[in-house]
């Protein structure tokens, strides 16, 4: 991947990937930091991006891993997140955003990740299985359970079925 | 096309507000990271090797450029005639009864197999779903296994190396070594243990600015759960930082012996800190290797 290709990839994917990782980890500032760091690592490892079918998946997986690692360390050390680093919010969160955030928080990490990859990133079950390193049956089960919980918490008619 | 959840789309749309660095700055940081990473690892490898002296340099694949060296099978520079198939037979020598297998000779220990090597679930007990097995090898190979690997682990008769992680990151290693007997295994254990103890000196000499390495003697090891003698274990934490960098390289090492086998787990990663404890129930959380230690010990002797 040369400079021009990387710059295009970065410009086109950054916001989208921050949104996806935010939905997975629940902290926008953390998602932004982790995706930024993942893109820096992506340029460091750019030779690998050439042979990968989806550089988005590489950055997303790396950013998610960073977010989980940071979250664990922060939790272990009982640290408060550095609010000063969060981007300035121009609007108060809407009730819908609060509701989906709370609902996502109720999901186990693996279910939450599967839900985001399927319903937000538009990945197929087999693509999710490949990205998270789990069998497709496990992914289907996570999706079904995650949908069930979300449907109950959001009080929507989200179809509960196996993918 | 999977159905979308409108609230989820709306949530993710907040990222449109997230500021981003200019692309050229991302590339500059990526280049700096690459330079630092390569220089750091090269310094670590060369430094670790340099500390070994000329004798080890002679057999170090890093310097002689071997493609796929088998450390366990490396020929000794002082090959005895009895080990050489080309050695001329001594016409005056008479066959010795000790040359033939004796029914009373002690049986050689069963060599370890891949079934004795820790799995991804044991290496990453908190979340094995995020990583996979990168490679398996029956030789140590070229790369140093962590910051404290001096290339000395005695004379194992069996070497099994399984690496884990994700592409692009520093790998984690599970290494199982089988020896001819308990004494040989003890010697191998001691060499790995000594390298870990001396890691701080080695890394300082190698040019790292801030280095620390220490054994955590609180490790709650119980060797009585398996039928092997001797059993013992040691856990080391290591850290190396280059001045001016906001990330360091961290190293966790667990080495365990059970009879004529040794298992050596090494985790090396780049990051800002490494908060964990060898003790269960500690506020910092128990380190992965310490958490899996009882299962890894049972697996080693299975």
Report pLDDT digits (tens) over B19-40. Answer: 888 999 899 888 887 776 665 5
Distance from C-alpha of A156 to C-alpha of A159, rounded to nearest angstrom: 9
Q: Closest-CA residue in chain A for B26?
A: A40
Distance from C-alpha of B281 to C-alpha of B247, rounded to nearest angstrom: 28
Residues of chain A in contact with residue B167, where contact means CB-CB under 8 angstroms, are: 45, 48
Please tell me the distance in Å from B90's CA to the nearest CA on chain A.
Answer: 58
Look at A120 and B8 and tell me if their CB atoms are within 8 Å: yes
Write down the pLDDT at residue B106: 55
Contact (CB, 8 A) for B64 and B163: no
Distance from C-alpha of B240 to C-alpha of B147, rounded to nearest angstrom: 8
- E strands, chain B, in order: 132-137, 158-165, 172-178, 210-215, 231-241, 248-258, 261-271
CA distances to B57, B156, B290 from B122, rounded to whole Å, are 34, 23, 10
The overall average pLDDT reported for chain B is: 75
Look at A40 and B132 and tell me if their CB atoms are within 8 Å: no
Distance from C-alpha of B204 to C-alpha of B192, rounded to nearest angstrom: 18
Mean pLDDT of B252-276: 88
- How are beta strands B132-137 and B158-165 bridged, if at all? antiparallel
Distance from C-alpha of A58 to C-alpha of B1, rounded to nearest angstrom: 22
Distance from C-alpha of A22 to C-alpha of A31, rounded to nearest angstrom: 5
Distance from C-alpha of B188 to C-alpha of B257, rounded to nearest angstrom: 9
Q: What is the pLDDT of residues B129-168, one digit of tens each?
A: 778 898 899 988 767 788 788 888 889 999 999 999 876 6
Size of interface A-B (CB pairs under 8 A): 151
Give CATH for domain B54-70+107-301: 3.40.1000.70
Nearest to A36 among B4, B20, B31 (CB): B20
Distance from C-alpha of A34 to C-alpha of B49, rounded to nearest angstrom: 35
Residues 103-132 of A with CB under 8 A from B: 104, 109-110, 115-116, 118-120, 122-124, 132
B232 DSSP 8-state letter? E
> Is A154 touching B (CB cutoff 8 A)?
yes
Domain ranges within chain B, ordered by starting residue: 54-70+107-301
- pLDDT less than 70: residues of chain A: 48, 50-53, 70-96, 156-163
Please tell me the distance in Å from A16's CA to the nearest CA on chain B.
Answer: 7
Contact (CB, 8 A) for B230 and B135: no
Write down the pLDDT at residue B132: 84
Residues of chain B in contact with residue A24, where contact means CB-CB under 8 angstroms, are: none
Q: Which two tokens mark B248?
A: 């360091």
Residue B3 in this model has a pLDDT that exceeds 50? yes
Residues of chain B in contact with residue A94, where contact means CB-CB under 8 angstroms, are: 10
| Whether this model's pTM surpasses 0.80 | no
Nearest to A3 among B2, B19, B27 (CB): B27
- Measured N-to-C along each axis, helices A55-77 and A28-44 cross at an angle, to the nearest 10 degrees, of 130
Q: Quote the radius of gyration of chain B (alpha carbons, Å).
A: 23
Strand order of the β-sheet with B261-271 is: B132-137, B158-165, B172-178, B261-271, B248-258, B231-241, B210-215
User: What do you get for the CA distance between the two ends of chain A, in Å?
Assistant: 34
Give CATH for domain A1-90: 1.10.1740.10
Domain ranges within chain A, ordered by starting residue: 1-90, 92-163
Residues of chain B in contact with residue A133, where contact means CB-CB under 8 angstroms, are: 129-132
ipTM: 0.76
- Measured N-to-C along each axis, helices A136-154 and A109-119 cross at an angle, to the nearest 10 degrees, of 90
Write down the pLDDT at residue B122: 94
Nearest to B15 among A22, A109, A150 (CB): A22
> Is A141 touching B (CB cutoff 8 A)?
no
Distance from C-alpha of A128 to C-alpha of A113, rounded to nearest angstrom: 9
Arch. (CATH architecture) of A92-163: Orthogonal Bundle (1.10)
Nearest to B23 among A7, A16, A22 (CB): A7
Q: Closest-CA residue in chain B for A100?
A: B7
Q: Smallest Cα–Cα separation from A7: which of A46, A37, A34?
A: A46
How far is C-alpha B28 from the chain's CA centre? Answer: 32
Q: What is the pLDDT of residues B173-220, one digit of tens each?
A: 999 999 999 999 999 999 999 988 888 887 777 677 778 888 898 999
Distance from C-alpha of B38 to C-alpha of A98, rounded to nearest angstrom: 44
Write down the pLDDT at residue A157: 54
Contact (CB, 8 A) for B270 and B168: no
Nearest to A96 among B2, B10, B283 (CB): B10
């Amino acid at each position: 991947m040369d400079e021009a290709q990387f710059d295009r990839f970065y410009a086109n994917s950054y916001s989208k990937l921050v949104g996806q990782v935010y939905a997975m980890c629940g902290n926008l500032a953390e998602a932004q930091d982790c995706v930024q760091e993942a893109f820096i690592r992506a340029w460091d490892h750019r030779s690998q991006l050439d042979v990968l079918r989806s550089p988005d998946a590489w950055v997303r997986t790396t950013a998610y891993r960073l977010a989980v690692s940071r979250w664990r360390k922060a939790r272990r050390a009982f640290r408060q997140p550095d609010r000063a680093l969060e981007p300035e919010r121009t609007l108060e969160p809407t009730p819908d955003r609060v509701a989906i955030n709370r609902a996502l928080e109720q999901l186990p990490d693996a279910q939450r990740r599967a839900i985001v990859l399927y319903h937000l990133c538009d990945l197929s079950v087999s693509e999710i299985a490949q990205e998270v390193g789990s069998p497709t049956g496990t992914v289907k089960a996570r999706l079904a359970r995650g949908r069930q919980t979300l449907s109950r918490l959001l009080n929507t008619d989200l179809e509960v079925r196996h993918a | 096309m999977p159905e979308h959840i409108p609230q989820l789309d709306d949530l993710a749309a907040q990222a449109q507000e997230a500021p981003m660095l200019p692309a050229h700055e991302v590339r500059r940081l990526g280049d700096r990271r690459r330079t630092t990473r390569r220089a750091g690892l090269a310094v670590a490898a060369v430094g670790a090797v340099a500390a070994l002296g000329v004798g080890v340099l002679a057999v170090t694949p890093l310097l002689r450029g071997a493609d796929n060296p088998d450390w366990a099978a490396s020929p000794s520079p002082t090959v005895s005639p009895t080990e050489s198939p080309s050695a001329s037979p001594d016409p005056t020598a008479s066959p010795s009864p000790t040359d033939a297998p004796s029914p009373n000779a002690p049986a050689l220990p069963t060599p370890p197999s891949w079934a004795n090597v820790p799995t991804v679930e044991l290496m990453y007990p908190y979340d094995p779903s995020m990583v996979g097995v990168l490679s398996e090898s029956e030789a140590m190979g070229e790369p140093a296994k962590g910051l404290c690997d001096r290339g000395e682990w005695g004379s194992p008769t069996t070497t099994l190396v399984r690496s884990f992680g994700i592409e692009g990151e520093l790998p984690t290693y599970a290494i199982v070594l089988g020896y001819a007997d308990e004494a040989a295994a003890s010697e191998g254990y001691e060499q790995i243990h000594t390298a870990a103890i001396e890691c701080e000196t080695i890394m300082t000499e190698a040019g790292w600015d801030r280095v620390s390495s220490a054994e955590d003697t609180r490790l709650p090891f119980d060797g009585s759960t398996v039928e092997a003698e001797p059993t013992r274990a040691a856990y080391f934490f290591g850290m190396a930082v280059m001045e001016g960098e906001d990330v360091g390289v961290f190293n966790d090492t667990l080495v365990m012996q059970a009879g004529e086998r040794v298992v050596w787990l090494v985790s090396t990663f780049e990051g800002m800190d490494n908060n964990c404890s060898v003790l269960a129930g500690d506020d910092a959380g128990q380190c992965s290797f310490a958490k899996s230690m009882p299962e890894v010990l049972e697996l080693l002797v299975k």
